Structure 1
């Protein structure tokens, strides 16, 4: 199995921005691997379901439901 490709980050950089990009990338990859099941994606990242949900909210990756919308 080949090592994952790493993107080169040029210095100087904003570490908070780069960490956010890394988090988004890893979450997206885990969701694809888990066929978009958040329950299955969370352990792939070493997170609980609720920790994954918090990351999704943090990065604006979850649609907010309006009251009365179907789950």
Structure 2
């Protein structure tokens, strides 16, 4: 998965990300700015997931979108 593409398309993808993980605020999504590590950190905070679980969820979500 190419995160440069995701970063470049982040504004287009934010709506889908918010639908998937509704606990993330618009400000948090803006702060993430398409960076996988930041997104994983926010998901860990909001959902109490391990880093591995957050990475797994992120990879599964973006696999079909990019």
> TM-score higher than 0.5 here?
no
Q: Which has the higher helix share?
A: 2
- Which has the higher relative contact order, 1 or 2, with Cα contacts under 8 A spaced 6 or more apart? 2
State the structure with more CA Rg: 1
